[in-house]
Structure 1
Amino acid sequence: MKYDKIDSKLFIKNRKNFASAMKPNSLAIFNSNDIYPISADSTMPFEQHRDIFYLSGVDQEESVLMLFPDCPNPDLREVLFVRETNDHIAVWEGEKLTKDAAFKTSGITSVYWLQDLDKILFELSTYCDTFYINTNEHYRANVVTETREDRFTKKLLAKYPAHSVAKSSPIMHRLRSVKDQIELDLMQHACNITEKGFRRILNFVKPNVWEYEIEAELLHEFIRNRSKGFAYTPIIASGNNANVLHYIENNQQCKAGDLILFDIAAEYANYKSDLSRTIPVSGRFTDRQKAVYNAVNHVKKEATNMLLPGTLWKEYHVEVGKVMTSELLKLSLIDKADVQNEDPNWPAYKKYFMHGTSHHIGLDTHDYGLLHEPIQANMVFTVEPGIYIPKEGFGIRLEDDVVVQEKGTPFNLMQNIPIEADEIEDLMN
């Protein structure tokens, strides 16, 4: 891994919190992700399943975690299985976790090789009444690939049909949505790397540069600061490309007078940052571009102030919509008749701002969170309003990552990343 070692007390605490939410006499099982094939002997880079990472810190394929807090054998209340390593694997694939290294990473004392899994699982099955299985129930999930977790679950339930079944997902959504200080520090580090990348391109962008050249500059800066790279597929959208919300081709030339919308950010230690900025190719906004830019920035500031403990998700977005409506009226993009005649299910402002304002962020870019429950302190959200005007050839989105506080305005993890229009122009010139 490129990142510095994470203190195992984070994972010890996370397991304790999960165990405290389990039913009596139950066993929870978490699997690592597969290494996915491309073709021939090619594979995609390995990405660990975030849940087993959250609970153990293990960032390696073919790993399994079992939690059984009521197990009558105290040595089997937390069990970690890792792939057995040897000199041959070390030569061909690199260093893998030894049992001692797995303990130091996770804080789990009972570490076994994966070959012992079936034997120990059988023993645990004779003690427990309920299996917690780990299904993907994220509200944005649309999974068509059978995962390692899916295969394990099918095998488990076929072999032990008499056991009750419970879901880990609701517990994980509640726990992962509220961040520990160690997690916040890791996310701050990811944001700091993102800042370095953004400042680098402010000095690089000029008329006729290509979007992919900017992408390369960002990737260079991210990796040299111990990130694996982009936290998600980067969007570098010049001109009218900005009006395609998920434009990822990044293959066009940036023309003088146009704007470039960036949705780019670094990860660090699997934790994500998520940044959007919009800058002028020529280093100066036109009056119209600046007016729209400042309107988006105003909405972002107002929306940030609304992210308070006790706030309900749906109500928050309704209130942000009111602020955006006011700004669009000032810009003459909509009129009072549009507002009076709007469809409540698709308000007038949605013509120019069609996506949501915020989402949870953490180990996933769209992180876990129970949207029907009130917002809590130490939840981390993006704030990302935008205005998209295809007829005028540009779109603007501005986005920061903020931590909800017990009292007062959320703490902006990206407060040092330039955002004011005048500051952007000064830095580019």
Structure 2
Amino acid sequence: MKYHQIDRNLFIKNRAKFTAQMKPNSVAIFNSNDIYPVSADSTLPFAQHRDIFYLSGVDQEESILLLFPDAPYDNLKEILFLKETNEHIAIWEGEKLTKERAFEVSGVKTVIWLQDFHKTLKEIMAYSETIYINTNEHYRASIETETREARFVKWWKENYPAHKVEKSNPILQRLRSVKESEEIDLIQNACNITEKGFRRLLSFVKPNVTEYEIEAELIHEFVRNRSKGFAYTPIIASGNNANVLHYIENNQQCKAGDLILLDVAAEYANYSSDLSRTIPVSGRYSDRQKAVYNAVLRVKNEATKMLTPGTLWKQYHLEVGKLMTSELLGLGLIDKADVQNENPDWPAYKKYFMHGTSHHMGLDTHDYGLLHEPMQTNMVFTVEPGIYIPAEGFGIRLEDNVVVQESGEPFNLMRNIPIEVEEIEGLMNR
């Protein structure tokens, strides 16, 4: 891994929080992701399942974590099952975790080679009554492939049908949404790497540069700062491309006078950052572009102040809608009649701002969090309003990542990344 080793006490705390919410005499099992095939012998780069990483720090394929807090023997309370490493694997793939190294990373004392998983599980099933299975219940999830976790659940139900079943996901949705201080530091590091990439761009962008050249500058800066790369597929959208919300082709030339909407950010140690900025190809915003830009910035700044403990996500978005409506009226994009005659299910402002303003973030860019429950201290959210005007050939989105504080305004993890018009123009024209 490129990142510095994370203090294993984070994962020890995370497991303690999870097991404290398990029912008596129950077992929870978490699997790594598969390595996904492309064609022939090609594969996609391995990306660890965030839940097993959150609970163990293990960032390796073919790994299983088993938690059994009420086990009759101490060596069965926490177990990591790992693919056994050997000299052949070390030569062809690189060294895998040894038992000693796995303990250093995770704090789990019992490490068993994967070939003994079924034998060990059979013993544990005889002692336990309930199993916690780990299903993906994220509100944005759309899954077309059978995951390693899903295959395990199917196998387990066939082989141990007499056990009771509980779900890990509701526990993890709550635990993962509230960050430990170590996690906030990791997200801050991802934001700092993103800042370096963005500042690099400000002196690079000029008329006729291509979107993919901008992407190349970013990946260079991210990787040289110990990131694996982009936290999500980068959006580098010049001109009218910005009005396609998930534009990812990044293959067009950036023309003088246009804006570039950048929704790009680095990951670090599997933790995401999530940035949006909109910059002028020629280094200066036109008066109209500046007016729209500052309207979006005002909405972002006011929306940020609302992210406080006890706030409900749905009500928050209603209030942001009011802010955006006022700004769109001021820009002449809608009029009072549009507002008076609007459909409550699709208000007038949605013509120009059709997505949500904030989502949880952390180990996943769209991280765990139950949206019907009030916001809490140490949750991390994006704030990302936008105005999209196809008729005028540009769209603007501005986005920061903030930590909900016990009192006062949220703490902006992207506070050092240029966002004001004057600062961006100044840096682009040095």
Tell me which interval the TM-score lies in, with the shorter structure as reference length: over 0.9
Distance 2:312 2:367 in 1: 17
Distance 2:112 2:75 in 1: 12
**Alignment map for 1:186-201 (pairs within 5 Å):** 186-201=186-201
Distance 2:387 2:85 in 1: 53
Q: Which amino acid letter does the alignment assign opposite residue 119 of structure 1?
A: K
Q: Which amino acid letter does the alignment assign opposite residue 251 of structure 1?
A: N
The aligned residue for residue 12 of structure 2 is 12
The aligned residue for residue 245 of structure 1 is 245
Count of residues in Structure 1 that have an aligned counterpart in Structure 2: 429
Distance 1:345 1:308 in 2: 26
SS of structure 2 residue aligned to 1:152: helix
Q: Which amino acid letter does the alignment assign opposite residue 111 of structure 2?
A: V
How far is the alpha carbon of 1:75 from its aligned partner?
A: 1.2
The aligned residue for residue 172 of structure 2 is 172
Distance 1:361 1:313 in 2: 14
**Alignment map for 1:183-262 (pairs within 5 Å):** 183-262=183-262
Distance 2:209 2:216 in 1: 12
Q: Which amino acid letter does the alignment assign opposite residue 39 of structure 1?
A: S
SS of structure 2 residue aligned to 1:119: helix
Structure 2, unmatched stretches of 5+, are none
The aligned residue for residue 320 of structure 1 is 320
Q: Which amino acid letter does the alignment assign opposite residue 275 of structure 2?
A: L
1:394 maps onto 2:394 in alignment:
yes
SS of structure 1 residue aligned to 2:236: strand
The aligned residue for residue 275 of structure 2 is 275
Distance 1:225 1:191 in 2: 11
The aligned residue for residue 51 of structure 1 is 51
SS of structure 1 residue aligned to 2:30: strand
**Alignment map for 1:110-129 (pairs within 5 Å):** 110-129=110-129
- 1:385-405 Cα offsets, whole Å, 9 max, x none, are 000000000000000000000
The aligned residue for residue 418 of structure 2 is 418
Q: Which amino acid letter does the alignment assign opposite residue 200 of structure 1?
A: R
The aligned residue for residue 79 of structure 1 is 79
How far is the alpha carbon of 1:356 from its aligned partner?
A: 0.3
Q: Give the structure-2-normalised TM-score.
A: 1.00
How far is the alpha carbon of 1:186 from its aligned partner?
A: 0.4
How far is the alpha carbon of 1:155 from its aligned partner?
A: 0.6
Q: Which amino acid letter does the alignment assign opposite residue 135 of structure 2?
A: T
How far is the alpha carbon of 1:63 from its aligned partner?
A: 0.2
The aligned residue for residue 374 of structure 1 is 374
The aligned residue for residue 293 of structure 1 is 293
1:357 maps onto 2:357 in alignment:
yes
Structure 1, unmatched stretches of 5+, are none
- 1:312-341 Cα offsets, whole Å, 9 max, x none, are 010000000000000000000000000000
Q: Which amino acid letter does the alignment assign opposite residue 17 of structure 1?
A: K
SS of structure 2 residue aligned to 1:229: coil
- 1:151-196 Cα offsets, whole Å, 9 max, x none, are 0111111000000000000000000000000000000000000000
- 1:246-283 Cα offsets, whole Å, 9 max, x none, are 00000000000000000000000000000000000000
The aligned residue for residue 311 of structure 1 is 311
Distance 1:348 1:24 in 2: 52
The aligned residue for residue 66 of structure 1 is 66
Distance 1:298 1:138 in 2: 31
SS of structure 2 residue aligned to 1:131: strand
How far is the alpha carbon of 1:74 from its aligned partner?
A: 1.6
1:403 maps onto 2:392 in alignment:
no
Q: Which amino acid letter does the alignment assign opposite residue 284 of structure 2?
A: R
- Percent identity over the alignment? 77
Distance 2:407 2:208 in 1: 47
Q: Which amino acid letter does the alignment assign opposite residue 407 of structure 1?
A: S
Q: Give the structure-1-normalised TM-score.
A: 1.00
Distance 2:372 2:128 in 1: 32
- 1:278-305 Cα offsets, whole Å, 9 max, x none, are 0000000000000000000000000000
RMSD: 0.4
How far is the alpha carbon of 1:107 from its aligned partner?
A: 0.1
1:182 maps onto 2:176 in alignment:
no
How far is the alpha carbon of 1:73 from its aligned partner?
A: 1.2
- 1:31-55 Cα offsets, whole Å, 9 max, x none, are 0000000000000000000000000
Distance 1:254 1:96 in 2: 44
